[in-house]
């Protein structure tokens, strides 16, 4: 899709602003791979902010929120990136669809929808005069971390950006890393995952498994933070959320035809393409309840690690 100037705010004379653009809402990766052309376009929006210093053009990070939407510690990362001379485009995937949070249902807005939002933003920003098109990275937290991670999987980028636009680097922060595609092709760009060792919401075992599966096909690495739960970069006290839908060591397979399935228990395979199938999987698994909360030592480290990764990659 080309840029629809009727939907784009004029930003060239200002430092920040809201940009509206068109996206789609596939429920699952299956729908991106197999049914994208059947889905209607609809408006979404994001917020583009430029550094206070400099005239540009600037490198840019497309940022994706987690299951609770935009929260304080994510904005603190963004402030660090802006101070380092990096523009930031915050995607408002929830607000665009009238949703506040999905932590206890994981249905209203999915990573597949957010992937579409992200690639449409990438194509849009590739045309912006104050953005360096070959220096657009993607980052995100938790649900948004899964977007930042799987946007590096080539079959997705080939479908969502057939014109060849690609993210130049990926910075997933405690992502859900449970998808295991048979088509093991990944973009040959840096993928730096930041994850806590005792995360019981999106367990690090899934990250290690994905890295092992893709070590000959991707540039994927992880920094592991000791004694760190989910949301380790926040200032929130450690909290038990009894109704949060979490992951365990089980994975979701994606076959060469784009069909998704999982082994819900030994010998019991269920399809996972459609909403009703995801609901049934949640009922079978009964994976609810997880810890969230910051770690002061980790918080300081990760704020520096995320910024330094981008500074080094962007060479600024």
Mean pLDDT, to the nearest integer, of 226-248? Answer: 97
Q: pTM (2 decimals)? A: 0.94
Mean pLDDT, to the nearest integer, of 148-162? Answer: 98
Of 248, 261, 278, nearest in space to 177 by CA: 248
| Spatial contact of 97 and 109, defined as CB atoms under 8 Å apart | yes
Which pLDDT belongs to residue 16?
59
Mean pLDDT, to the nearest integer, of 17-25? Answer: 96
Tell me how crowded residue 219 is: count the other CB atoms within 10 A of its CB: 16
pLDDT tens-digit series, residues 42-67? 999 999 999 999 999 999 999 999 99
Structure tokens belonging to residue 306 = 């995320």
Distance CA 214, CA 85 (A): 32
| Spatial contact of 139 and 90, defined as CB atoms under 8 Å apart | no
Distance CA 44, CA 48 (A): 13
Tell me how crowded residue 68 is: count the other CB atoms within 10 A of its CB: 19
Distance CA 304, CA 274 (A): 40
Q: Please tell me what DSSP assigns to residue 144.
A: H
Mean pLDDT, to the nearest integer, of 293-314? Answer: 97
Distance CA 127, CA 59 (A): 13
| Spatial contact of 250 and 221, defined as CB atoms under 8 Å apart | no
For residue 281, pLDDT beyond 50: yes
Which pLDDT belongs to residue 8?
39
For residue 266, pLDDT beyond 90: no
Average pLDDT over all residues of the chain? 94
């Amino acid at each position: 899709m080309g840029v629809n100037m009727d939907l784009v705010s004029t930003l060239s004379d200002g430092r920040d602003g809201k940009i509206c653009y068109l996206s789609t809402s596939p429920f699952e990766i299956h729908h991106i791979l197999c049914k994208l052309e059947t889905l209607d376009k609809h408006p979404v929006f994001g917020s583009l902010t430029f550094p206070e210093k400099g005239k540009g053009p600037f490198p840019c990070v497309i940022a994706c929120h987690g299951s609770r939407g935009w929260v304080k510690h994510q904005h603190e990362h963004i402030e660090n990136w802006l101070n380092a001379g990096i523009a930031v485009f915050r995607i408002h995937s929830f607000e665009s669809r009238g949703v506040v949070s999905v932590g206890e249902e994981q249905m209203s807005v999915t990573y597949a929808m957010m992937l579409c939002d992200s690639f449409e933003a990438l194509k849009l920003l590739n045309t912006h005069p104050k953005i360096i098109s070959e220096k657009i990275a993607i980052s995100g937290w938790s649900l948004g971390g899964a977007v930042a991670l799987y946007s590096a999987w080539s079959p997705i980028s080939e479908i969502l950006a057939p014109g060849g636009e690609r993210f130049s680097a990926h910075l997933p922060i405690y992502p859900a890393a449970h998808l295991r595609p048979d088509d093991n092709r990944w973009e040959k760009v840096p993928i730096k995952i930041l994850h806590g060792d005792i995360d019981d919401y999106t367990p690090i075992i899934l990250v290690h498994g994905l890295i092992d599966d893709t070590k000959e096909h991707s540039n994927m690495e992880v920094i592991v933070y000791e004694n760190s739960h989910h949301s380790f970069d926040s200032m929130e006290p450690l909290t038990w959320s009894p109704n949060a839908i979490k992951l365990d060591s089980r994975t979701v397979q994606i076959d060469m035809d784009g069909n998704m399935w999982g082994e819900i228990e030994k010998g019991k395979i269920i399809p996972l393409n459609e909403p009703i199938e995801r609901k049934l999987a949640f009922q079978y698994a009964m994976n609810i309840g997880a810890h969230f909360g910051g770690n002061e030592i980790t918080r300081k480290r990760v704020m520096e690690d995320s910024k330094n990764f981008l500074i080094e990659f962007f060479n600024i």
